[in-house]
Every structure is written in C-alpha cells, then in structure tokens.
C-alpha cells in the first residue's frame, strides 16, 4: 500500500531520479491515484511535484497529472503568486493549448505581487 501521493505516482509512472518502490499491483490504477490527488492537501501535492519533477519540465508524470496537480494547489492556495507563476510556467512548458490560461495566472500573480514579476534570474536591486 502506498503511504504518500509521491509513492503512488512513482509506482504508476516511474521516477526519473530514483527507483520505483515495490508495492501491491492492485494499487496500480490511475483512478485510485486521481482520487488520492483530488483530496490531497496542497503541501502533499507540492511535495510530489518537487520529488518527481524538481526542474519543472522533467520527470515522468503525465502532463494531465501535472495540470491537475497545479489546479488543485491553486484552489487551496488562491492567493499564492509564486505558485501561480510556477503553474503558468508548467502550462507554457507543456503545450501552447494553455498559453491563455498561463497569461491569466501570471497577470493574477503580478496583481498580487508586482515585485515578483521581475524576469527569472533577475537579481534584487541593491539597497
């Protein structure tokens, strides 16, 4: 039996960075994983993404799982601009079909946190 969302995902889709743990084959169904993901705490979902996709565009999680994961996180954290920006990057990285949604997320994040709107890698201004 899987004790974490990460373990369950790892068993279904593998892990680019580590071995797939042994488990009961009856648990290997995406429907069961989807149920766990749907009702998971945002921290558990973020932990899964960090463990299995540490560089945002890597990992073996299917795109639909990533998109659903970010959607569920944002429903639980509707005012988290950093997570909105990360979700936007994920959408842009995995297909142009969601570019309008990514733009909306980025605009919402910028409205909440204009300072965070600086380009990636931009060093803070010296004080």
**Averaged pLDDT in 10-residue chunks for the chain of 127 residues:** 86 87 71 94 97 90 95 97 96 89 96 78 46
Whole-angstrom distance, CA of residue 25 vs CA of residue 23: 6
Whole-angstrom distance, CA of residue 116 vs CA of residue 76: 20
User: Residue 19, exposed/middle/buried by CB under 10 A (0-12, 13-18, 19+)?
Assistant: exposed
pLDDT the model gives residue 27: 59
Answer whether 0.95 is exceeded by the pTM.
no
Asked if 19 and 27 touch (Cβ cutoff 8 Å), the reply is no
pLDDT the model gives residue 117: 73
Whole-angstrom distance, CA of residue 51 vs CA of residue 1: 19
Of 45, 50, 34, 95, give the one whose Cα is nearest residue 70: 45
pLDDT tens-digit profile of 69-86?
999 999 999 999 999 999
Give Cβ neighbours of residue 101 (< 8 Å, ≥ 6 apart): 88, 91
């Amino acid at each position: 039996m899987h004790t974490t969302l990460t373990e369950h995902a790892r068993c279904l889709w593998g892990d680019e960075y580590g071995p797939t743990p042994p488990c009961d084959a009856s648990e290997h169904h995406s429907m069961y994983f989807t149920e766990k993901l749907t009702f998971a705490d945002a921290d558990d979902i973020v932990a899964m993404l960090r463990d299995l996709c540490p560089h945002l565009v890597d990992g073996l999680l299917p795109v639909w799982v990533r998109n659903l994961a970010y959607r569920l996180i944002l429903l639980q954290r509707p005012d988290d601009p950093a997570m909105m920006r990360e979700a936007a990057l994920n959408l842009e990285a995995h297909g142009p079909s969601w570019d309008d949604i990514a733009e909306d997320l980025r605009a919402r994040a910028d409205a909440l946190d204009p300072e965070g709107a600086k380009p990636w890698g931009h060093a803070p201004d010296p004080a």
